[in-house]
């Protein structure tokens, strides 16, 4: 049967669901499941529908809290949206450990955003370069109506630079523009400015007798998610003796050396670095989602930045042992906003910002970085001592029991049984079958 759907986007939500029902063997059950995730408040559901295109239901993820994060002398309970329980557990455990040792410290290096107008230049490049300052002034003055409000908040256009990429692609050039967007992520502001620049550039070019009618071709105007100068540094440090027995039977010095070597491996091996950095973003993404920001842009930026190293893709964290002190540091390029987008709309996003005491964009950068460093600390600690699977699989025990549909009466028995044993789906299934067999025998 042809399952092509004509005019899907124009259908009412109820009709969209009916149209999608044809893709399921049990269409009634599928429709019922989709509808069961609707928000009980019709106004909120209507708002959620408008967040995206072709919405037919809501997809729920756990909203968790990692408490006791001491960041720059202030204690936070950090909201995290993620489906992996071990991430929240690791963040919470690391936060508790570092709280008594001074917590996480951060420094905002800069908050510069980037946008580009890409174009092909077919006229004399030297003439463009000679008159660029004139063009630059025209672009800034001609976009004053767009930048006025942002400037009043302390932001705006920082600089416009002419870049020549013609050695890589014939005629390719760009206006490389830097912005300060204060407490907003600034995507709409940046893109509006860039599109205005493109229009002004075209008009300016047409008015110059020394240029040919077809000498300029605008390719596109768009922000860049690579913001290497929108950077936060986050670190923890303590004397080695304070880490004695962080894992029973291991001295602080022994643990620190194991830990440093593991981080060093992530710096020199891209295969390890990829998983290492993924562990960092476990924490960062969870905070970014909870606060209504774009985790895809945040990850793209971080991984691109990690690839800019002269030796190739590398770790975003660094570990140092010096003069009897352990220091673990994350350098994170990240652009976040606390106004605009979902921050003023989504009820849980609004609560997230309230939980965090309505942070500025700079403060939220610090909070996200601390969550990332905490998760990375917890992961590397486990990897170099007890192994990652022990804690990881125990946190997934309840997921396994749900998958196997373990009866409620047996669940605590399963938890107690696996307190000192390795957890796997097969091991849990085998033990549950033993419990069920024993119960049948009694009957």
CA gap 315, 117 in Å, rounded = 31
For residue 349, give the 3-state DSSP assignment: helix
CA gap 201, 193 in Å, rounded = 12
**320 is known as an active-site residue:** no
Annotated active-site residue in 84, 110, 123, 254: 84
The residue whose two tokens read 């907003």 is 184
Query: Which spans in 291-340 are helix H?
Result: 295-307
Could you please report the per-residue DSSP string of 119-183?
A: EEE-S-HHHHHHTHHHHHHHHHHHTHHHHHHHHHTT-EEEEEEEEE-TTTSTTEEEEEEEEE-TT
**294 is known as an active-site residue:** yes
Could you please report the per-residue DSSP string of 26-93?
A: SHHHHHHHHHHTS-SSHHHHHHHHTTSSS--S-----EEEEEEEEETTEEEEEEEE-S-HHHHHHHHH
Residue (of 134, 152, 161, 156) closest to 143 by Cα position: 156
**392 is known as an active-site residue:** yes
Annotated active-site residue in 346, 392, 394, 396: 392
**84 is known as an active-site residue:** yes
Q: Which helix (H) or strand (E) holds 288?
A: helix 270-290
Positive or negative: CA dihedral 373, 378, 383, 388:
negative
Residue (of 235, 236, 237, 232) closest to 363 by Cα position: 232
Annotated active-site residue in 278, 303, 318, 350: 278
> How far lies 406's CA from each of 397, 398, 402, 411, in Å?
11, 9, 6, 7
Annotated active-site residue in 183, 285, 294, 363: 294
β pairing state of 317-322 and 216-224: unpaired
Active site residues: 84, 278, 294, 392
């Amino acid at each position: 049967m042809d399952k092509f759907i004509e005019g899907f986007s124009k259908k009412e939500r109820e009709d969209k669901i009916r149209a999608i029902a044809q893709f399921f063997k049990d269409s009634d059950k599928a429709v019922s499941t989709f509808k069961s995730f609707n928000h009980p408040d019709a106004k909120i559901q209507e708002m959620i529908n408008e967040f995206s295109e072709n919405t037919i239901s809501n997809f729920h993820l756990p909203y968790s809290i990692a408490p006791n994060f001491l960041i720059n002398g202030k204690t936070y309970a950090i909201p995290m949206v993620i489906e992996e329980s071990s991430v929240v557990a690791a963040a919470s455990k690391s936060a508790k450990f570092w709280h008594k040792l001074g917590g996480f410290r951060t420094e905002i290096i800069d908050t510069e955003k980037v946008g580009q107008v890409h174009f092909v230049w077919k006229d004399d490049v030297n003439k463009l370069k000679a008159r660029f300052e004139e063009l630059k002034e025209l672009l800034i003055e001609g976009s004053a109506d767009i930048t006025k409000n942002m400037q009043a908040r302390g932001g705006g256009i920082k600089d416009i630079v002419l870049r020549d990429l013609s050695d890589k692609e014939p005629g390719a050039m760009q206006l490389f523009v830097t912005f300060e967007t204060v407490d907003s992520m600034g995507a709409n502001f940046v893109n509006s400015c860039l599109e205005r620049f493109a229009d002004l550039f075209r008009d300016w070019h047409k008015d110059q007798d020394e240029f040919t009618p077809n000498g300029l071709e605008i390719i596109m105007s768009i922000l860049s998610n690579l913001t290497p100068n929108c950077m936060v540094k986050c670190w923890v440090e303590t004397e080695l003796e304070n880490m004695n027995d962080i894992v029973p039977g291991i001295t602080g010095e022994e643990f620190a050396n194991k830990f440093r070597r593991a981080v060093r491996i992530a710096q020199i091996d891209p295969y390890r670095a990829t998983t290492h950095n993924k562990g960092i973003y476990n924490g960062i993404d969870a905070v970014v989602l909870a606060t209504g920001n774009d985790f895809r842009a945040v990850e793209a930026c971080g991984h691109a930045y990690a690839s800019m190293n002269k030796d190739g893709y590398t770790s975003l964290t660094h570990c140092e042992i010096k003069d009897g002190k352990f220091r673990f540091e994350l350098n994170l390029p990240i652009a976040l906003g606390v106004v605009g987008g979902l921050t003023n709309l989504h009820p849980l996003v609004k609560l997230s910002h309230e939980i965090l005491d309505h942070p500025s964009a700079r403060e939220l950068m610090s909070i996200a970085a601390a969550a990332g460093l905490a998760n990375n600390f917890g992961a590397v600690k486990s990897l170099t001592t007890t192994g990652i699977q022990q804690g990881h699989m125990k946190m997934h025990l309840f997921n396994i029991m749900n998958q196997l549909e373990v009866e409620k009466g047996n669940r605590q028995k399963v938890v107690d049984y696996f307190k000192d044993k390795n957890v796997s789906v097969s091991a849990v299934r085998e033990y549950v079958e033993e419990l069920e067999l024993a119960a049948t025998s009694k009957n």
